[in-house]
């Protein structure tokens, strides 16, 4: 078990290293650095000013050296100003100017995530705040999606080819075939517009007080989540993921239902409900469990569209902003977080297998 964990963590570190280097390389191409200088110092600055800005901010060194600085393996750059005060990577991160007051190395290894140029704030703060927001969204999506998907999948799969199966399968396929940017817009038109859809009808019947049934904008959910402001974004993501998980569950369930031991149980006279719940369910859940675990990293990075559509600033939104503004250190940190989340969920799903299927062992 320990060896297994160690190996997994080793893989995680190597993956993170490779991925961050690729991200670092792509964001540090000369043209990208020029964009950065222009967004930072004014879009109308001259080429000479771009060069001087890059030099003053330590972007003029070789790329490998700066990657090392970011990692914390190489000492951070420093420069002495005319008045004797010192600036440098580590001086800025620690916000000091006296010579010698800052650590020599300040990278990921030392716990410095760097500064976001887009948000002018500590990357660690930006990431943690946005990760928290997406965490809430993911939590509610999972709470809605997982039970619904399992229920639909199990109901459809327990009698293959029945009318229930056909109708639930159609629903699942339709929901997973509708991308978020379609369902989100349809939902807003249907529930969150005072001119079209359900809301004007409900208002004229006197069922709701406000102009709209649900809010088509989830910004207020940052401060306080309510049923009304969170329903649409959660449903938009949950419906899309739901159909997929339900299809996997159904496939797995139908297969289990044809197994010999199920027939034996039936012949013994066990009730159908008992067969499904006590004998089939646990075995049928192995495949959906992996898929649900895979959905978590997908949720983390795949919610960009929904977060932008509903103006809910979460992790997907931060990734979008960082990429659009070439925010190097923020993108790197986001990659690290993404790698960690993917590998942790995979770890959990591998360990979870052992409990669902005693035949599998971790060695």
Partner 1 sequence: MTQKNRKATELHKAAHLYARECRNGKLSRREFLTRATALGVAAPAAYGLLGLTGPAARAQTPQMGGTLRMQMDIKAQRDPRTWDWSELANVCRGWLEYMVSYERDGSIQPVLLESWEANEDATIFTLNVRPGVTWNNGDTFTASDVAHNIERWCDASVEGNSMAGRMSALSEDGKLREGAIEIVDDLTLRLHLSSPDIAIIVNMADYPAAVVHPSFTGDDPVGNPIGTGPYRPVSHEPGIGAVIERNPDHTWWNEGNGAWLDRIEFLDLGTDPSAWMAAAESGEIDLTYQTTGDFIDLFEMVGLPSSEAITASTLAVRFNQMQAPYDNVNVRRALQMAVDNAIVLELGYNDLGTVAENHHVCPIHPEYAEMDPPELDPAQARAMIEAEGLADHEFELISIDDNWQAATCDSVAAQIRAAGINIRRTILPGATFWNDWLNYPFSSTEWNMRPLGVQVLNLAYRSGVAWNEAGFANAEFDTLLDEANGIADADERRVVMLKIQQIMRDEGVLIQPYWRSLYRNARPNVLGAEMHPTFEVRYQHYGLS
Contacting residues toward partner 1, per CB under 8 A: 31, 34-35, 38-39, 41-46, 49, 52-53, 117-120, 188, 192-195, 210-212, 214-217, 219-220, 222, 229, 308-311, 313, 317, 321, 323-326
Which residues lie across from 103 on neighbouring strands? none
CB of 59 to partner 1, least distance (A): 14
Question: Which one, 321 or 329, has the nearer CB to partner 1?
Answer: 321
Least separation in angstroms between CB 216 and partner 1: 3
Q: What are phi and psi of 361, to 5 degrees?
A: -125, 145
**By C-beta, is 39 or 357 nearer to partner 1?**
39
In angstroms, the CA 271 to CA 70 distance is 63
State which residue, 51 or 286, has the beta carbon closest to partner 1: 51
Which residue lies nearer to partner 1 by CB, 311 or 349? 311
Rounded-to-integer distance, Cα 222 and Cα 215, Å: 13
Is 119 or 289 the residue whose CB approaches partner 1 more closely? 119
The minimum distance between CB 48 and partner 1, in angstroms, equals: 10
DSSP 166-220: HHHHHHHHHHHHS-HHHHHHHHHHHHS-SSSSHHHHHHHHTS-SSS-SS-S--GG
Cβ nearer to partner 1, comparing 52 with 61 = 52
- The distance of closest approach from Cβ of residue 92 to partner 1 in the complex, given in angstroms and rounded to an integer, is 12
Whole-number minimum distance, CB 63 to partner 1, in Å?
Answer: 19
Euclidean distance between CA atoms 322 and 36, whole angstroms: 11
Question: DSSP per residue over 248-308, as a string?
Answer: HHHHHHHHHHTSHHHHHHHHTT--HHHIIIIIIHHHHTHHHHHHHHHHHHHHHHHTHHHHH
Least Å distance between CB 32 and partner 1?
8
In DSSP terms, which residues pair with 80 in a beta bridge? 86
């Amino acid at each position: 078990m320990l060896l297994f964990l160690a190996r997994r963590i080793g893989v995680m570190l190597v993956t993170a290293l490779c991925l961050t280097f690729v991200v670092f390389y792509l964001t540090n191409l000369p043209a990208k650095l020029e964009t950065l200088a222009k967004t930072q110092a004014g879009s109308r600055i001259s080429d000479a000013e771009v060069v001087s800005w890059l030099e003053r901010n330590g972007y003029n060194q070789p790329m490998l050296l700066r990657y090392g600085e970011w990692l914390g393996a190489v000492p951070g750059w420093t420069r002495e100003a005319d008045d004797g005060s010192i600036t440098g990577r580590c001086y800025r991160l620690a916000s000091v100017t006296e010579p010698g007051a800052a650590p020599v190395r300040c990278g990921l290894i030392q716990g410095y995530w760097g500064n976001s140029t887009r948000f002018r704030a500590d990357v660690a703060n930006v990431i943690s705040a946005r990760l928290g927001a997406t965490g809430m969204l993911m939590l509610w999506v999972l709470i809605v999606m997982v039970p619904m998907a399992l229920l639909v999948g199990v109901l459809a799969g327990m009698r293959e080819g029945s009318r229930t199966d056909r109708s639930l399968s159609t629903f699942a396929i339709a929901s997973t075939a509708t991308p978020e940017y379609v369902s989100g817009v349809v939902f807003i038109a249907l529930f969150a517009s005072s001119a079209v859809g359900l809301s004007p009808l409900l208002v004229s019947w006197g069922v709701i007080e406000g102009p709209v049934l649900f809010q088509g904008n989830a910004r207020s959910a940052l401060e306080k989540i309510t049923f009304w402001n969170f329903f649409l974004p959660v449903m938009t993501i949950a419906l899309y993921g739901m159909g997929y998980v339900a299809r996997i569950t159904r496939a797995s369930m139908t297969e289990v239902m044809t197994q010999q031991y199920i027939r034996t149980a039936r012949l013994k006279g066990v009730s159908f409900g008992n067969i499904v719940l006590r004998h089939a369910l646990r075995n049928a859940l192995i495949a959906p469990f992996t898929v649900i675990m895979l959905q978590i990293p997908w949720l983390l990075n795949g919610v960009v569209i929904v977060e932008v559509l509903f103006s809910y600033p979460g992790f997907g939104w931060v990734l979008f902003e960082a990429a659009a503004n070439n925010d190097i250190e923020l993108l790197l940190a986001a990659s690290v977080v993404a790698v960690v989340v993917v590998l942790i969920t995979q770890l959990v799903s591998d360990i979870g297998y052992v409990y669902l299927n005693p035949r599998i062992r971790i060695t």
